[in-house]
Chain A
Amino acid sequence: MTAMVKAEGVHKSFGAVQVLKGIDLEVAPREVFCLIGPSGSGKSTFLRCINHLEKINSGRLYVDGELVGYRQKGDKLYELKDREVAAKRRDIGMVFQRFNLFPHMTAVENVMEAPVQVKGESKAVARERALKLLDRVGLSDKAGNYPSQLSGGQQQRVAIARALAMEPKLMLFDEPTSALDPELVGDVLDVMRGLAEDGTTMVALTHAMGFAREVGDSVVFMDDGVVVESGHPREVLTNPRHERTKSFLSKVL
């Protein structure tokens, strides 16, 4: 079975600063893969590399068996055209820490936007599907509201519905609950739990250790641009082997 995401020695630097120092990992299809680690550990950068919002400097990164951002012919790499990069991103949903909903569109318009504009779906079909997705995230009554009229938790659930509207084979979550008030976190995690149960492949950066423990199939602890420890959530979160993992967990748990 092809891995959904496969990283081999992925390096990334911003100028002189090395952010990723050789990441090797694999995410299987239908797996819920949780990335944890302190801020500045490079986990967010790694996530953004997966859909080519950032270019990696060395190593290889594959999504569903295909190289991210490049085409290989013989031993030469060719950069993909913008259009080809965009085409690949359609299959990867992304949810951001700051939601990034389009503020000039209502909730349902946000969800419809990509299917209509990118896939060329008819508005009627897209709207119907969008309403179903909003219902799935528990917001069927907020379809006509603008993002500024929604709470953070509601906005994030619309953002998840927006990503799902493209029927992605992989979902990326960039600390989806970090910008939320504590009492709103649960709603968003419930939606993510539902996705996991439906077999969606997910890579989630999260500080919600409870979610990682209950829903995650594997957990990777990153620090300072390297993978320190990985394994089943029960092992990593309850019996960490490395000192750095232990000290990090003692602070967040």
Chain B
Amino acid sequence: MTVEIDKAGPKDAPPPRAPETIKAIPVRHYGRWVAAVVVIALLASLVYAFSQGKVNWGAIPDYFFNDEILKGVGKTVWITIAAMALGVVLGVILAVMRLSKNPVTAAIAWGYIWFFRGTPVYVQLLLWFNLGLIFDYINLGPIYQDEWSDFMTPFLAALLGLGLNEAAYMAEICRAGIQAVDEGQTEAAHALGMSHAKTLRRVVLPQAMRVIVPPTGNEFINMLKTTSLVIAVQYWDLLQAAQEIGQNSGAPAEMLFLAAAWYLILTSVLSVGQFYLERYYARGSSRSLPKTPFQRIRANLFSFSNRSAGGVGTS
């Protein structure tokens, strides 16, 4: 098309003069300069303080890929994934129960969320661990029988403590996601003759995922950090490994730096995964491009520990 227009135009006519570009003196933001100087000065004094401290920096790279540390990282990742899986599956079930028209299931789901969201996760972990004081045996009839102390291993206590707590949060996230889908979508699906189940699976849930995925990513990152509490049930994780090495090598503070660095690496990896998942579920709905992974990691690093919701005492 444009080619046609160019041909039609007079060939020897002078090209139209571009209007003169405005050259104005920009507004000076002196306040920004002052703020930048103050912040840099504060940062520099912090760095100086640490450089004066008796920190044995060399100990960190020495132990960074230590076998015990790597084993701890593996254990931390494992309990994070296991607890999150339990939380998501149970959370979806609880959300559907809570939204169902059956008043009994709705009330039970409400009660579950009320209890597990209303008590600190640290207390819940201790409770699971100390149930052995109440029960001597576990007896599930013909399915399973054992002594309680053999049954409730540190891993199981950590899994139940973290996973059941997480389910309460996931239930609320899923419920919000399902309710965020426009009612017209359900009506359109019903008008086409789709059943309730098909409507939920084909129309409502795929759209709810767009609302559910971002907070779930946050929950995942948060879970990774919350697993540092599993010392309460004697589950051996990254933090435990770092502390043991710290006591034996005489560099306890340095090993905590090391643990923090590992947590940062893991949460950063999770952030990247979250980005691609979000972009997948945003298909067809967002017109503006999602942020790049780099921007997202940066945002996450800066807002690293800003969760203060409900049961999580330490982050």
Interface residue ranges, A against B (CB under 8 Å) = 51, 53, 82-83, 86-90, 92-94, 96, 98, 100-106, 113-114, 117-118, 146-148, 159, 162-163, 166
The one of B189, B192, B195, B207 in contact with A103, judged by C-beta atoms closer than 8 angstroms, is B207
> Is B203 close to A, CB under 8 A?
yes
Q: Is A86 touching B188 in the complex (CB atoms < 8 A)?
A: no
Q: Is B190 touching A86 in the complex (CB atoms < 8 A)?
A: yes
Q: Is B184 touching A98 in the complex (CB atoms < 8 A)?
A: yes
7 A-B pairs with least C-beta separation: A90-B193, A146-B284, A100-B188, A114-B192, A94-B191, A100-B184, A89-B193
Q: Is B206 touching A100 in the complex (CB atoms < 8 A)?
A: no
Chain B residue total in the interface (Cβ 8 A): 22
**Given A103-B207, A104-B206, A104-B284, is A83 in contact with B195 using a C-beta cutoff of 8 Å?**
yes
Interface residue ranges, B against A (CB under 8 Å) = 182, 184-185, 187-196, 198, 202-203, 206-207, 283-285, 287
The interface residues of chain B lying within 8 Å CB-to-CB of A90 are: 192-193
Q: Is B203 touching A92 in the complex (CB atoms < 8 A)?
A: no
CA of A30 to CA of B182, assembled, Å: 33
CA of A96 to CA of B188, assembled, Å: 8
CA of A98 to CA of B283, assembled, Å: 20
Q: Is A106 touching B187 in the complex (CB atoms < 8 A)?
A: no
Q: Is A103 touching B284 in the complex (CB atoms < 8 A)?
A: yes
Q: Which of A94, A117, A159 has the most CB of B within 10 A?
A: A117
Q: 5 other contacts beyond A53-B190, A100-B184, A114-B193, with CB at 8 A cut-off?
A: A82-B195, A86-B194, A105-B284, A114-B192, A163-B191
A109 nearest in chain B by CB position: B284
Q: Is B195 touching A51 in the complex (CB atoms < 8 A)?
A: no
Q: Is B284 touching A147 in the complex (CB atoms < 8 A)?
A: yes
CA of A96 to CA of B202, assembled, Å: 19
The one of B182, B206, B284, B285 in contact with A106, judged by C-beta atoms closer than 8 angstroms, is B284
> How far does the Cβ of A146 sit from chain B's closest Cβ, in whole Å?
4
